[in-house]
């Protein structure tokens, strides 16, 4: 199993550009989520999904869109990038069976918005 | 709402020293508690977890005990190694009766640990 994969690893954008951060998991997990990591602030939840076709907002959703058409994929879209979106983005997946839910994280995408 | 507070870092130790990283939380009900570790250039990995009061999570020589009376989940290791240098995150979730939190975690700000030979 590849686990949770993210592409690209690093991206530079100009203000106003759009892009999609890709996330895929091959563990057949029900739940997927996106976090951003900023210095001194830990990780903050952007959006999450409890299954294909079902998404909801987390703590910091503004400026980001998500959709989940398949169990495996959960892309994060920035429609008009802003410097405040410079961050490291982590995708995670988890499932509900077998005891305490445990999250598995991808390696991250480092985004710089100029 | 829920929140997690970790001790200020960075923490710098010599090899074989004793490690404590403090973590306290604010939450209603009975959250599950976690410690995640992030090695340089990598994603987060689960280090240990505890689901109810007085539970002790342990892994790779690290331990943490769920203390409901003090709302704490401090991370300890008796003898650190250079390879333990990483960022450590305390986190909680709020599982429902079926043990599910739908992938939502609340994190502390992270503590950078550097261990010198």
Phi, psi values for residue B32, rounded to 5°: -95, 150
* Minimal C-alpha gap between A108 and chain B (Å): 6
More confident residue, A46 or A101: A46
Say if B9 is an interface residue toward chain A (CB within 8 Å).
no
pLDDT at B45: 92
Q: Which of A15-29, A47-61, A85-99, B37-51 shows the lowest mean pLDDT across its residues?
A: A85-99
Q: Is the pLDDT of residue A55 over 80?
A: yes
pLDDT in tens, chain B (117 residues): 889 999 878 999 999 999 999 999 998 878 899 999 999 888 899 999 998 899 999 999 999 999 999 999 999 999 999 999 999 999 998 777 666 777 789 999 999 999 999
Please report, for residues A22, A33, A53, B61, the alpha-carbon distance to residue A67 in angstroms, rounded to integers and kept in the order given: 11, 11, 7, 40
* Cα A38 from Cα A108, distance rounded (Å): 12
* Cα A84 from Cα A76, distance rounded (Å): 16
pLDDT at A79: 92
Instruction: From B91, B92, B90, B58, select the one nearest B77 (Cα to Cα).
Output: B58
> What band does A17 get if pLDDT is binned at 50, 70 and 90?
very high
pLDDT at A100: 66
Phi, psi values for residue A22, rounded to 5°: -95, 145
pLDDT at B59: 96
Which residues in chain B are contacts of A94 at CB distance < 8 A?
103
Prior bond of A31 cis (ω within 30°): no
What mean pLDDT do residues A103-111 have? 93
Which residues in chain B are contacts of A96 at CB distance < 8 A?
98-100
pLDDT at A85: 97
pLDDT at B107: 94
pLDDT at B94: 74
Q: Are B75 and B50 in contact (CB under 8 A)?
A: no
What mean pLDDT do residues A102-114 have? 93
Under 8 Å CB pairs connecting chains A and B tally to: 72
pLDDT at B111: 95
Inspect the interface and report whether the beta carbons of B104 and A58 lie closer than 8 Å: yes
Tokens 């996330």 identify what position? A23
Instruction: From B16, B8, B6, B19, select the one nearest B90 (Cα to Cα).
Output: B6
Inspect the interface and report whether the beta carbons of A94 and B103 lie closer than 8 Å: yes
Determine the residue of chain A that is closest to B90 in CA distance: A42
| A39 contact partners, CB below 8 Å, separation of at least 6 | none
* Neighbour count for residue B26 (Cβ, 10 Å): 13
């Amino acid at each position: 199993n590849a686990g949770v994969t993210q592409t690209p690893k690093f991206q530079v954008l100009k203000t106003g550009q759009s892009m999609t951060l890709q996330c895929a998991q091959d563990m057949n997990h029900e739940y997927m989520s996106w976090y951003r990591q900023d210095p001194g602030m830990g990780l903050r939840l952007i959006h999450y999904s409890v299954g294909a076709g079902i998404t909801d907002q987390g703590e910091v959703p503004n400026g980001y869109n998500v959709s989940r058409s398949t169990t495996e994929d959960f892309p994060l879209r920035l429609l008009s990038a802003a410097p405040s979106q410079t961050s490291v983005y982590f995708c995670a997946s988890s499932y509900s069976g077998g005891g305490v839910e445990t999250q598995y994280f991808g390696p991250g995408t480092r985004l710089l918005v100029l | 709402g829920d929140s997690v507070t970790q001790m200020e870092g960075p923490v710098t130790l010599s090899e074989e020293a004793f490690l404590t990283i403090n973590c306290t939380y604010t939450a209603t009900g009975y959250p599950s508690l976690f410690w995640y570790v992030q090695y340089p250039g990598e994603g987060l990995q689960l280090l240990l977890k505890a689901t109810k009061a007085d539970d002790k999570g342990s892994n790779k020589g690290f331990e943490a005990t769920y203390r409901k009376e003090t709302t704490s989940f401090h991370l300890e290791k008796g003898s650190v190694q250079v390879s333990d240098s990483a960022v450590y995150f305390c986190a909680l979730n709020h599982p429902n009766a079926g043990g599910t939190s739908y992938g939502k975690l609340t994190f502390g700000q992270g503590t950078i640990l550097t261990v010198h030979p």
